[in-house]
Structure 1
Amino acid sequence: MPVLNRIAAYAEEMKTWRRHLHQHPELSFDCPETAAFIAARLREIGVDEIHEGIAKTGIVAVINGTGAAPTIGLRADMDALPILETTGAEHASKVPGKMHACGHDGHVTMLLGAAKYLAETRRFAGRVALIFQPAEEDGAGGQVMVQEGIMDRFEIGQVYGIHNAPNLPFGHFYTTPGALMASVDTAFVYITGKGGHGATPHECIDPVVATVAMVQAVQTIIPRNVYALDEAVISVTQIHTGTASNIIPEEAMFCATIRSFKPDVRALLKKRFYEIVEGHALAFNVTARVDYDWGYPATVNTPDEAAFASAVAAEVSGEEASHPNSNREMGSEDFSYMLEARPGAYLFLGTGPGAGLHHSAFDFNDEAAPIGASFFARLVERAQPL
C-alpha cells in the first residue's frame, strides 16, 4: 500500500496547496505569506496549538494524541531560491527571480497532509510537533529554531525530516545510519599585491600568479592530507581579478566550498587551507586575508532512528523501495542542527525523472506528496502507538 487510504483522499487538495506555494515563493527568513498560508491550513485542519514567529517566520504546531507519551518532531523547510523559473507550468512562480527550485513547497505539503490525517485520526499517544522552518537555503534557520529553544519548549524527544530526490526511483526512500550529508564551509580569499603595467611585471607584485598557485595548492590538501576513505571535497568556484589585458591588477580573490563528514577532517581542512594561503602569500610577497565561513555541520542520523525510519518507509512503499544503507551525499542540510540537538533521521524520497534540484526547470512531483505524508503519519503511529 503506497499511501494511507485516508491520505490518498487528500491528494487533489494537497496538489492545490503545493501549487499555490509554488506560485508564491519567498526567500530565507522572509516568508510571511508562506507562513500565513501554512497557519491558515493548520487552523482548518484543527491542530491543537499554533506557535508563530519562531526564527522570524517559522511555525511549530502541536497535535495532541490520545494517550501519554513523548513528543515527536516532524520538520519541513519552506523557503525558496533566487532563481528565474523556466518550467512554463501554469502554476509557475509569480515572483520574478524567485522559485521553489528545491521542492520545499512539496515538503510543506507533505507535512500538512500528515497533519490533516493525524489531527483527524489521533491514533497515537503523546504529541506531534510540526516544524515549518524558514531559511534552509540561506541563513541556517534550523539552527536558529534550535537556538530559540523549540526542542525544550515543546519537549521534542526525536525529530525526522524528508527531502525529495528527483531522478531517483519514484516512491523509494534512501537513508543511512551515521553521516548522510556533509558539512559545508566556504572560504573567501582576498589577495593584495602591487598593480602596474603588464609590460613591466618586475615593478609589480602580481596577485594573479599568487592566486593561481594558491588555487592549485589547495587542491592537494585532500589527496595528501586526508585518509583516502574519509570522503571530502574542496572545489574552487570563483576567481575574480583584473580589468584590462595590459594591466597587472592590485587585487585578486577566489572562493572555495569545503565539504566533509568527520569533525576532525573538517578541522584539518581548515587548518591546511590557512597554512597554504599564508605560506603562498609569503612566497609571492603578497598579502592575503581569508574569510572562512564555518557553515552547516554534517547531517548525522542516529542509528536506531535511521533503522526505524527505514522500517516505516518499507511499510509505506514496500521492502524493495526502502534503502537503509544508501550512499551518503556531499550536499549539506541545516536539519543537521536539529539532529545535533535530538536523535532522529533524515531521508530522501525519490520522485522520478525530472530536472535536478536548484535547476530553473525543476518542479516537485505532486504524486509524491501523499507518499511523504503517509510516511510521516505512519512514523508517528509506529513511534508512539496507543
Structure 2
Amino acid sequence: MDASPAQQHRTGFGSADRRCPVTSALVSERQTAGGNDLELLRRLRRAVHRRPETAHREHRTAAYVERLLTRFGLHPFRPAPTSVAVHIGPPGIRPAVGFRADLDALAVAEETSAPYRSRVLGVMHACGHDGHTAAVLALARRLAADPPRDHAVLLVFQQGEEAHPSGAPLVLQGLPAAMRPPMFYGLHLWPELPSGVIGLRDGPLLASVAGITVRVTGAEGRAHGTQAESGGVDALSAGVDLYRALPTVAAGRTLTENRRHALHVGRLTAGEQPHRVPLQCELHGTLRALSDADENAALAQLRQLTSVIARRTGAAIDVEVERDIRPSLCNSASAVDLAAAACRATGVALRTYPAQPLGVSDDFGWYLKDGAGAMLLVGCGNGSSPADLHTPLFDFDEEALVPIVDVFTELARHPFGH
C-alpha cells in the first residue's frame, strides 16, 4: 500500500510450469460460470497467491489475467507492460465507470501454513492484491455474461502499486483519452474491519507522500593546540537540534482533519570518524499530507524551521524534496453517494469509516486527479487480532470478497444511479 523500492526477485516460473495454475483456474471458471462466485474467488485468489511477483515484474500474473479475460469472451489489452485492461460494453464509446485492481506482491517471506502459501522465496501477497485481482476478475465474468447495453465499463489490473515510481501513471498514460472513464473505483482489503463490512468515507482518505532529504553541513575548527576545534560547527549537533524541533511540523504519520500533514524521519546519518567533528549530517524522511496545499504549507514550515536552526548553530542546511511519490487520495462525494446506494441495493453492510484520514498511502489517488471516484475498504477481519497488512502472517477468507463483487457489479450496471 505504501511506496517502496521495486526489487528484483527470481520467480522460478519455468516454461514447463507455466500452464498449471492458469489451466486449473480456467477449468474452474468453466465449471462455475453462472454458479458459485465464492468458489471461483477462492480458486482465482489462491492461484495468484501461490505465484506472487513484485512490482513491474508481474509478467506471469498479467498473462494469467489476460487469458482469463479472453476465456470470458472479452478483449483485453495492455496499457502498460505488465498491466491489463478491458473495455466491456458497446464498442467505441467512452466507459462511464472504471474499476482498478493491483497485481503486485511484496518482498515479504510468508509465514502462514496455508496450503496455497507462496511458492516464491521471499515474496508474498501480504497486502491483499491477490484478493483485489480475484474480485475484479469475478466482476469481469459477471459483466461478460451480461454486458451493459447503454454504457461501457473499464476494468484495469495495474502493475507496480507498491513501487516507486508506481504503475498508475504508466497505465493512465497508456489509456487513450477516449478510454478514460470520468469515475473510478478502487478497493483495498482491510483487516481492521470485520468481514462482510465495507468502510467508506467522503473526502480525504489517504495521504500523499513526498520524500524529504535534509543536508546539514558543518565547519571544521582548529586542528591542534589550545584552540583545537574552535570555530568548528558540529553538523550532527545541528541535525539533532533540527530533529528535536520537527514536532512543530507535525512529526510521525498520524493525520486528522485538523492535523493535515505529518513529517516522519526514519534515518539520520552523520560523521566519518568518531574522534572528528561531523561535517555532514543527513536526515531522510517522508512528508504526508491531505492535499497539495497542505503539503506546501508543511514545506514552508520546514524551511522556516531549518533557517532558524541554521542561524542558531552556524550550519548550512539544505532541504531537498521529491514530490508526487503518491498523490493524496480524496473520495468524491458523488462517488461515495453512488457506492453507498449500491451497498443498500445489494444488502451489504456499510460503515462510515475511518473516522479520520489515514497516514498510509496508495497510488489509486492518481486515478482521481482529474475525475471523480472512491476507494472502498473491504473488511476481512476474522478475529480479535487479525494480522496486519504487509506482515508475513497476513491472510484472509475469500468470503470477504463476495460483498465487494456485489457492490462493484451494482455500480457497473448502474453507474449513474437508479
TM-score normalised by L of structure 1: 0.87
Q: Could you tell me how far apart the structure 2 residues matched to 1:273 and 1:109 are?
A: 43
Structure-2 change in CA distance of 1:129 and 1:227 (3 Å): closer
Match of 1:373 in 2: 405
**Do the aligned partners of 1:207 and 1:251 also contact (CA within 8 Å) in 2?**
yes
| Correspondence for 2:196 among 135, 151, 171 | 171
Partner of 1:309: 339
CA distance in 1 between counterparts of 2:149 and 2:381 reads: 32
Give CA deviations for 1:329-372 in whole Å, capped at 9, x if unaligned.
22222111111122111110111142111112112432222222
Residue 115 of structure 2: SS of its match in structure 1? Answer: coil
1:91 maps to 116
- Once residues 104 and 337 of structure 1 are traced to their aligned partners in structure 2, the CA distance between those partners, rounded to angstroms, is 18
Pick aligned residue for 1:144 from 154, 159, 170: 170
Q: CA RMSD in A?
A: 3.0
Deviation (angstroms), 1:313 = 2.0
The answer as to whether partners of 1:113 and 1:370 remain within 8 angstroms in 2 is: no
Q: Deviations over 1:17-70 (max 9, x none)?
A: 2122122222222221111111111111111x2111x23211111112599885
* d(CA) in 1 for partners of 2:240, 2:268: 9
Matched residue, 1:14: 41
1:1-386, aligned counterparts within 5 Å?
9-47=36-74, 49-52=75-78, 54-64=79-89, 70-122=95-147, 125-138=150-163, 139-150=165-176, 152-194=177-219, 202=230, 204-222=232-250, 229-242=258-271, 246-295=275-324, 296-318=326-348, 321-324=349-352, 326-327=354-355, 328-353=357-382, 354-383=386-415
Percent of residue pairs bearing the same amino acid type: 27
Contact 2:80 2:171 in 1 (8 A): yes
Q: Provide the secondary structure at the position in 2 that maps to 1:341.
A: coil
Contact 1:7-1:373 within 8 A present in 2 as well: no
1:306 partner amino acid: V
1:18 is paired with a residue of what secondary structure?
Answer: helix
Q: Which amino acid aligns with 2:66?
A: A
8 A contact 2:338–2:417 mirrored in 1: no
CA–CA separation in structure 1 for the residues paired with 2:331 and 2:145: 30
SS of equivalent to 2:76: strand
Measure the CA separation in 2 of the matches of 1:332 and 1:90. Answer: 31
SS at match of 2:194: coil
Shift in Å, 1:163: 0.7
1:249 Cα deviation after fit: 3.6
Residue range with higher mean Cα deviation, 363-372 or 341-350: 363-372
Letter in 1 for 2:166: A
Question: Taking CA–CA contacts closer than 8 Å with sequence separation of 6 or more, which of the two structures ends up with the larger relative contact order?
Answer: 1
Give me the whole-angstrom Cα distance separating, in 2, the residues matched to 1:194 and 1:99.
47
The answer as to whether partners of 1:69 and 1:384 remain within 8 angstroms in 2 is: no
Label 1:361 to 1:264 Cα distance change in 2 as closer, same or farther (>3 A): same
Uncovered stretches (5+) of structure 1, i.e. residues with no partner: none
Contact 2:218 2:315 in 1 (8 A): yes
Deviations 1:57-113 (CA, angstroms, capped at 9, x unpaired)? 111111125998853211111112222222233222222222211111110110001
Q: Deviations over 1:249-289 (max 9, x none)?
A: 44322222222213322111012212323442343233333
| Superposition deviation, residue 243 in structure 1 | 6.1
1:245 Cα deviation after fit: 5.2
Q: Which runs of 5+ in 2 are unaligned?
A: 1-31
Kept after mapping to 2: 8 A contact 1:51/1:61: yes
Given the two structures, how large is their TM-score scaled by the length of structure 2?
Answer: 0.80
1:131 & 1:227 partners in 2: Cα distance? 31
Deviates more, 1:342-351 or 1:279-288: 279-288
Q: Is the 8 A contact 1:161 1:345 kept in 2?
A: yes
Equivalent residue letter for 1:31: E
